[in-house]
Amino acid sequence: MTDKPLVVITGASSGIGAETARQFSAAGYPLLLIARRLEPMSELDLPNAVLRAADANDTQAVAAAIRDAEVQFGPVDLLLNNAGMMALSSVVEQDPQKVQAMFDVNCVAPMKNAQLVIPGMIERGRGTIINIGSIAGKQLYGDHTVYNGTKYAIHAMTEGLRRELARHGVRVVLVAPGMVDTALLSNTGEGAVLDGYLSYKESIGGGLRPEHVARAILSTYELPQEVTLREVVVAPTGQDA
């Protein structure tokens, strides 16, 4: 067991989520890991970790998982809304179902899941919510229109939530990565859009490794509770846009 508080990570089966789980575990934090795929989370083989196969949009399943984890490890002190979806396309060619799915995963789920932990955080006068945004929430890119929209939205909602909770001593943080080497592009089909993205990434020497972003998240969280690093933009040095 550990005397450190409970950390909840969505989208914990791969990429930034899995690496953040590794680093928080190494630092001694108990974890609730949530993702649609259970096996990759099990393969992390982390101590003091509750694993739940659930979609981040399934509020009832997420709520049940939080209740189970809190029985073992006490109240949630950090919610990392990391689950995300990126399907790049021109709007005219975009699958309407993917339009809806991107807004559901990237925007709606973080707010619904925050609602599950905010009352307890307000009561305790402490806690942290970190939302994963994107550099695509700060500037526009070709064939990113819907994805840009979801990230601009989560950036705005994160800042709004920060203002709501500041007087209660609860921190809300936006982490906005640039290009990262993850499986997030799995929803972008083969063709010119994907080829252009990968070509640019290669031209700047590759994307961030997930462990780079995880280090930024851990460092930000471990600042004193009375200090909020409101926004962290982390990108490859060679990325010029």
Please give the Cα distance from 142 to 163 (Å, whole number): 32
Q: Which of 70, 40, 59, 145 is nearest to 102 (CA)?
A: 145
3-state secondary structure 179-200: CECCHHHHHCCCCHHHHHHHHH
Residue 115 burial (C-beta neighbours within 10 Å; 0-12, 13-18, 19+): exposed
Please give the Cα distance from 32 to 41 (Å, whole number): 10
Question: Is-contact 185 195, C-beta < 8 A?
Answer: no
From 29, 141, 147, 197, active-site residue: 147
Please give the Cα distance from 196 to 202 (Å, whole number): 10
**Token pair in block for residue 164:** 């709501």
**Token pair in block for residue 220:** 């930000």
Residue recorded with tokens 């859009």? 193
Amino acid sitting at position 112:
K
Contacts of 86 (CB under 8 A, 6+ apart): 102, 147, 184, 185, 187, 188
The question of whether 141 is a catalytic residue gets the answer no
Q: Which of 117, 95, 151 is nearest to 34 (CA)?
A: 117
Residues identified as active-site? 147
